[in-house]
């Protein structure tokens, strides 16, 4: 029953995302958000699978999750805007004001991140909140791995571009010390 409900949730989110992105009449969609919608749909499907939510949990979780994501996105955009203004005005007279605006925007983003787990714990058991945080990171790593393999997460070929192992190891690459330590020969 859980699997059926999860599948229905994923299909509903995908259908909503696709319906919102459909051009009307002879219009062509040119806003560049198509890939974002596909990544978002993939993320929802991934999280739904990883969290194994009950019907009641899903009904209370997704509105909270979507609100947190919206707040994150808005705070991140404000932080980036403040950063760009600081970058442009670094040699100007109002650099102190620009610096304060950037720091304030960064603090707001951090406050949203810090409060997210508490909001999730109001609608999910703490174990599933922990699974959510791990699953978000796992999904992010998969997307970065796909980009690193020469394609966008959903590139021109129309599908995922590979699936790097998780956690930690990337074949042929040493990413942040993930490579196994090599023994040194003490006889030399």
Contacts from 71-77 at CB under 8 Å and sequence distance 24+? Answer: 71/112, 72/109, 72/112, 72/113, 72/116, 75/105, 75/108, 75/109, 75/112, 76/109
Beta bridge mates, 45: none
- What are residue 178's phi and psi, to 5 degrees? -80, -15
Residues in the chain: 188
Distance CA 161, CA 176 (A): 23
Give me the number of domains the chain comprises: 2
Q: Is 74 helix (H, G, I), strand (E, B) or coil?
A: helix
**What six digits make up the tokens of 74?**
């808005």
Is there a single domain that holds both residue 101 and residue 78? yes
Residue 26 resides in a domain: no
Examine the pLDDT at 90 and tell me if it is beyond 70. yes
Is there a single domain that holds both residue 44 and residue 135? yes
Residue 43 resides in a domain: yes
* Average pLDDT rounded to a whole number, residues 54-77: 94
125-150 pLDDT per residue, tens: 999 999 999 999 999 999 898 888 76
Verify cis geometry, omega within 30 degrees of 0, for the bond prior to 16.
no
Element (H, E) at 2: helix 2-20
Residue 89 resides in a domain: yes
11-65 pLDDT per residue, tens: 444 444 444 444 444 444 555 678 888 888 999 999 999 999 989 999 999 999 9
Q: Show the domain range for 81.
A: 64-123
**What are the b/e assignments for 84-96, b being 16+ CB within 10 Å?**
ebbeeeeeeeeee
Q: Is 137 helix (H, G, I), strand (E, B) or coil?
A: helix
Q: Would you state the pLDDT for residue 32?
A: 65
Residue 175 resides in a domain: no
């Amino acid at each position: 029953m859980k699997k059926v409900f999860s599948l229905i949730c994923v299909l509903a989110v995908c259908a909503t995302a696709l319906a919102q992105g459909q051009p009307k009449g002879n219009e062509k969609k040119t806003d560049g958000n198509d890939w974002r919608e596909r990544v978002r749909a993939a993320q929802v499907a991934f999280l739904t699978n990883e969290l194994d939510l009950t019907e009641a949990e899903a009904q209370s979780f997704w509105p909270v999750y979507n609100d947190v994501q919206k707040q994150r996105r808005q705070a991140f955009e404000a932080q980036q805007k403040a950063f760009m203004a600081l970058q442009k005005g670094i040699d100007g007279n109002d650099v102190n004001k620009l610096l304060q605006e950037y720091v304030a925007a960064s603090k707001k983003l951090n406050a949203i991140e810090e409060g997210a787990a508490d909001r999730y714990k109001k609608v999910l058991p703490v174990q599933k909140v922990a699974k959510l945080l791990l699953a978000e990171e796992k999904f992010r790593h998969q997307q970065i791995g796909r980009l690193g393999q020469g394609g966008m997460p959903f590139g021109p070929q129309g599908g995922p571009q590979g699936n790097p192992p998780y956690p930690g190891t990337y074949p042929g690459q040493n990413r942040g010390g993930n490579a196994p330590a090599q023994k040194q020969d003490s006889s030399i």
